[in-house]
Amino acid sequence: MGLLEFIKDYFLGFWDYETPKVMVVKNKKLGVIYRGVQFLVITYFIWYVFISQKAYQDSETRPESSVYTKMKGTALQGDHVLDMVEYVRPLEGGDVISTILRREVTHNQRQGTCAEHFTVPSANCSKDADCISGEVNVDGNGQRTGRCVPYYNQTFKTCEIQTWCPIEDYAAIWEPALAEAINFTVYIKNAIHFPKFKVLRGNIKPNKRNGQKYLNKCHYNEKKQPYCPIFRLGYIAEQAREKFSELCRTGGVIGVFINWKCDLDLDPSECTPTYSFRRLDLRKNLPSSGYNFRFAKYYSKDGEEFRTLIKAFGIRLDVIVHGHAGRFSIIPTIINTVTAMTSVGICSIICDWIMLTFIDKNDIYSDRKFDDDSKVPSPSQPLTVPIEFTISYGSNHSDLSEGVAL
C-alpha cells in the first residue's frame, strides 16, 4: 500500500459520515425515567430559558441615561416665602436632588471670639488656667484662646474659642418644618439610549395637542396617571412607606427607581418605564440616621463679612435608572438551542448510571453496552451480538449497493 493510496484512502475516508452506535433497551421503567428526564430538561429550556428568560433575544442592559430634575412649589416660613431656589440643592437639576424640609438657622455669624458650648468635653472652666490656648477639640467649634469667659448671658463659664460667633449650638433658631412641602412636586425627565439597538426612549409621552398643558396639571399616580413625570413629595414618601412628618424631623434619602423593560420585538409604544420608590438610608436603631447638611449665605457690611449658617434637614432623591432591552437575534437563538440539545444528552448519563446501578439485569446490559477488548472471541466462538434487519424487509433495497455490501 503506497503513500498515494493512503492519501486517497484518507481523502475518501474524510467524506465518511460517523455516528455513535446506540443500544436500544426495551425496558419500560428505564424508558419512562429516560423520557421523563428528557421532558423535564426540554420543559425547562422551553419554558424558563426561552419563554421566561427570552434566550432567543440579544439583550442589552445599562442604557446610557440622562436625568433632569426640577422641583416646584412655594412654602411660607413665618413671614418669609421660600421658593425652589432656596430649598433645593443642588440647583443644576441632576440625578441627585435635595429638598430642605426643616432648617436650623444661625443668623449673623461673624469671625471672632465667644464662649464654647458647655457640652463640649473640658469646655467648662472657672479660671483661665483651665483653658489651654491653641487647643482644638475635635468635638468643639474652634480653637481655644486660653481665656475663661461667661457662657453668653449665663452665670457659669466656659473656655473662649476663636470661631464664627455666636456658635450654632447656642444661637440656632429651630424653624418649624415646611408642612407645605408635602405638595411640592418634582419633575423628572429621563431619556435613555440603547447603543446596540440604536433605540432612544423618553419617559414623557409626546403629545402634540395638549402636551405642555397636561404637564402643568398632572401628578403621577401608578394607576391613574402612569405617564405623568411629575411626582408629589407626599406621594413619593407614601410609596416608600415613610411618614412625611418623620422625614421632616430627621431627613432621609429616597431612591426613585426608573425601570425600563423593553421587548423591542413588540411595538415601541410598549417600551414605557415603571417607577418605584424606596428609602435608601438605613434608619432603625442607628445613631445619626437621616439626612442633613449645612450651608451658609455670605454677606458683607462695611468690609466685614458675616454669614447666615443653615443646618438643613430634608429629602434627598437619588434617581436610579435600570434598563433592559431585548430583540430577536439569530446567534443567541442558535447557541441556546444547541445548549438545550446538549443538555438533553445529559439524560443519557443519568439514565446510564441508574441502569447500571439499580436495575437488576445491569450486568447483562453493561456487558452489551461495553465492548470489552480483552474478550474478543476466537473466530469459532458463536456467542455474538448481531444486528438484525427488522423493519420492512420488503422495502426498496436497490440503492443499498451504493454504500452497503450485504
By CB under 8 A, the residues from 175 to 194 that bind a second copy are: 180, 183, 185, 187, 189, 191, 193
Residue 95: name the closest of 185, 191, 183 by CA: 191
Would you count residue 64 as binding a second copy (CB under 8 A)? yes
> Which residues are part of a known binding site?
70-72, 185, 292-294, 311
Residue 200: name the closest of 140, 260, 122, 285 by CA: 260
For 272, counting Cβ atoms within 10 Å of its Cβ (0-12 exposed, 13-18 middle, 19+ buried), the class is middle
For residues 180 and 160, give the distance between their C-alpha atoms in angstroms, rounded to a whole number: 41
β-sheet bridge partners, residue 193: 64, 200
Q: Least distance in Å: CB of 157 to a second copy?
A: 21
Would you count residue 352 as binding a second copy (CB under 8 A)? yes
The answer to whether 236 and 188 are in contact (CB under 8 A) is: no
State the number of CA atoms in the 13 A half-sphere of 259 facing the CB: 7
Exactly one of 155, 212, 269, 357 binds a second copy (CB under 8 A); which one? 212
Residue 376, Cβ neighbours under 10 Å: how many?
9
Would you count residue 4 as binding a second copy (CB under 8 A)? no
Choose one: 9-17, 148-156, 169-177, 264-272; the region binding a second copy (CB under 8 A).
9-17
> Which 125-184 positions form the footprint of a second copy (CB under 8 A)?
136, 138-143, 162-164, 180, 183
> Which residues are part of a known binding site for ATP?
70-72, 185, 292-294, 311
Exactly one of 153, 155, 357, 395 binds a second copy (CB under 8 A); which one? 395
Instruction: Show the binding pattern over residues 42-61: x = contacts a second copy (CB under 8 A), - = does not.
Output: ------x-------------
Exactly one of 51, 81, 132, 179 binds a second copy (CB under 8 A); which one? 81
Q: Which is nearer to a second copy, 43 or 127 (CB)?
A: 43
Q: Least distance in Å: CB of 161 to a second copy?
A: 8
Q: Which is nearer to a second copy, 153 or 298 (CB)?
A: 298
Size of the site for a second copy (CB under 8 A): 157
Residue 130 CB contacts under 8 Å (≥ 6 apart), including other chains? 122, 124, 148, 159
Helix (H, G, I), strand (E, B) or coil at 34: helix
For residues 56 and 230, give the distance between their C-alpha atoms in angstroms, rounded to a whole number: 37
